[in-house]
Amino acid sequence: MGSRQTVFSPGEWYHCYTRTIEKRIAFETDGDYERFLQTLYLCNSERPMRRDDLPRMAREDIYAYPRGEPLVSIGSYCIMPTHFHLLLHEIRDNGISRFMQKVGTAYTMYFNIRQQRIGGLFVKPFRAKHIDEDPYLRRVVQYIHLNPAELFEPAWKRGVVRNMRKLESALRQYRYSSWPDYEHDEARPQRAILGREKLVSFGGLLPLRQTLEETRAYYQDLLP
């Protein structure tokens, strides 16, 4: 187990991410993804809270459940089959560390019960990068939202896209990131996961097609 290099400071943004041990598939079904989304909402609280302790309720009611004061503000997120990315704003001392520990423990318990296994699921410690400039903040948001591109275009990170229109459509329909909450005015129940801060106040995000084109060009420039 490694040691953490990043020191979290209240008022600062951090890109936090981790993957599963041995790159095991942690999110196999829609139910798995939905459980993790609910975990992001419910675990972001000073109060101890377990999803299984809540009465059976509709999804939209879960995201409206009074969870108490949050530990962090979540700026954006994306869940992939073997890993996840979060943009977190430290709003109270030790908030990010406490939140990430709660999320990892809660989902691992759910996963282990469902899979009839024991042991850890995610690599520890989670990785974190401090975001100290507004332009970098916007790039990180875009990077997080574009993570699923490689699920639909395997050569994406080499700058190769077979069909840009289909890729754009696939990303718009990807339900396990916060991109829809930025692109559309109508609120999904999952919008409650995100903090009160709107990152568009930092200068706004580029349209998806423009982001895809610029990112593809960036990857192409990296090729020898």
3-class SS letters over the chain: CCCCCCCCCCCCEEEEEEEEHHHCCCCCCHHHHHHHHHHHHHCCCCCCCCHHHCCCCCHHHHCCCCCCCCCEEEEEEEECCCEEEEEEEECCCCHHHHHHHHHHHHHHHHHHHHHCCCCCCECCCCEEEEECCHHHHHHHHHHHHHCCHHHHCCCHHHCCCCCHHHHHHHHHHCCCECHHHHHCCCCCHHHHHCCCCCHHHHCCCCCHHHHHHHHHHHHHHHCC
Does 7 reside within a domain? Answer: no
For residue range 86-121, list pLDDT tens digits in order.
999 999 999 999 999 999 999 999 999 999 999 999
For residue range 156-175, list pLDDT tens digits in order.
999 999 999 999 999 999 99
pTM for the structure as a whole: 0.92
Does 112 reside within a domain? Answer: yes
- Of the pLDDT bands very low, low, confident and very high (cuts 50, 70, 90), residue 82 is very high
Average pLDDT, whole number, for the chain?
A: 89
Does 69 reside within a domain? Answer: yes
Count of the separate structural domains present in the chain: 1
Does 147 reside within a domain? Answer: yes
Q: What is the CATH number of the domain that holds 145?
A: 3.30.70.1290
Does 4 reside within a domain? Answer: no
Does 146 reside within a domain? Answer: yes
- Of the pLDDT bands very low, low, confident and very high (cuts 50, 70, 90), residue 50 is confident
Does 149 reside within a domain? Answer: yes
Does 209 reside within a domain? Answer: yes
Domain that holds residue 115: 13-222
